[in-house]
């Protein structure tokens, strides 16, 4: 666990020539994380005058709980007041910033994208519900789970990883339950159902490299309409969601197996390993071998 701590983030993100730089958290710097990461709000924000400048995490999902104190969250350009019992959901890629009053208390839980795939498998539209930043009021159950996560993460108890996975899944489920009734404005029930069907089709056919047109045909709609629904639900076009699923599987195989790059490429439906390497490099900024070296294989 100590090795992972070296690669925790500095949330006060800098800008270079006006371009927002993505933060390198564990898993986005030198290695993938522990099962998850948990720290107090004070651990980072106190180092920066309780102000965390705008930043994003490309492959990490965060949940922040205020237990005592107040603050302001800036989520994708929207300013939201925070009070005790505020639960903040920040999915991968969303720009966020925080300002806390001194001595604010609470926790931040961070999970890597690879960890989420297994948790979200076969659980309906949880990924979609949690794919947008939001702030809600935490239940006592959420507070209790956060405290349990902190205790397990800080300790070395038997079956620690298994317990943390279970608690992480519970926290995500409670957050999704809290958010479910707050679907995006303008998103109809029909669109929500179609998005769930699209996500299920991606899971079933991403290895076959279906195009947007193939998914649209299976859903009985035009590619343009499918992309509109996808963008309304996730902020991304349909093509990006399809491609991201392949890349997530590639990252997971490179990180957690010893399969050769060519074997992974063929398993993911690529006819040419060189093409796979180009696609992966375009999506991640690293070749498959460089990514594997970063995560310690």
Q: Per-residue pLDDT tens for 144-157?
A: 999 999 999 999 89
Whether the pTM exceeds 0.95: the reply is no
Q: How many CA atoms lie within 13 A of 14 on its CB side?
A: 3
Which of the two residues, 258 and 16, has the higher pLDDT score?
258
DSSP conformation letters of 100-155:
E-TT-EEEEEEEEHHHHHHHHTTSTTHHHHTTS-EEEEPPHHHHHHHHHHHHHHHS
Q: Per-residue pLDDT tens for 91-120?
A: 887 889 999 999 999 999 999 887 887 788
Q: Does residue 290 surpass a pLDDT of 80?
A: yes
Mean pLDDT over all residues of the chain? 83
Please give the pLDDT value at position 9: 34
Q: Does residue 194 surpass a pLDDT of 50?
A: yes
Domains and CATH numbers, the chain: 2-179 (2.60.120.280), 189-294 (1.10.10.60)
């Amino acid at each position: 666990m100590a090795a992972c701590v070296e690669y925790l983030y500095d949330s006060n993100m800098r800008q270079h020539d006006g371009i927002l730089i993505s933060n390198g958290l564990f898993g986005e710097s030198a290695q993938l994380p522990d099962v998850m990461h948990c720290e107090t709000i004070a651990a980072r924000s106190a180092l920066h005058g309780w102000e965390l400048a705008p930043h994003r995490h490309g492959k990490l999902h965060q949940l922040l709980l205020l237990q005592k104190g107040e603050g302001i969250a800036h989520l994708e350009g929207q300013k939201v007041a925070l009070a005790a019992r505020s639960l903040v959901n920040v999915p991968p890629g969303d720009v966020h910033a925080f300002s806390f009053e001194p001595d604010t208390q609470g926790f931040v839980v961070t999970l890597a994208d690879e960890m989420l795939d297994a948790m979200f498998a076969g659980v309906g539209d949880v990924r979609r519900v949690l794919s947008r930043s939001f702030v809600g009021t935490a239940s006592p159950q959420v507070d209790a789970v956060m405290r349990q996560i902190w205790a397990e993460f800080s300790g070395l108890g038997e079956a620690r990883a298994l317990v943390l996975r279970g608690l992480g899944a519970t926290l995500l489920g409670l957050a999704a339950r809290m958010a479910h009734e707050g679907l995006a404005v303008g998103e109809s029930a029909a669109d929500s159902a179609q998005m769930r069907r699209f996500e299920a089709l991606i899971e079933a056919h991403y290895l076959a490299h279906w195009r947007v047109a193939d998914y649209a045909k299976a859903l009985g709609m035009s590619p343009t309409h499918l992309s509109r629904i996808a963008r309304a639900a996730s902020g991304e076009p349909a093509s990006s969601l399809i491609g991201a699923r392949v890349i997530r599987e590639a990252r997971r195989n490179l990180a957690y197996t010893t399969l050769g790059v060519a074997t992974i490429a063929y398993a993911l439906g690529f006819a040419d390993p060189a093409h796979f390497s180009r696609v992966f490099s375009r999506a991640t900024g690293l070749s498959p071998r460089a990514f594997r070296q970063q995560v310690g294989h």
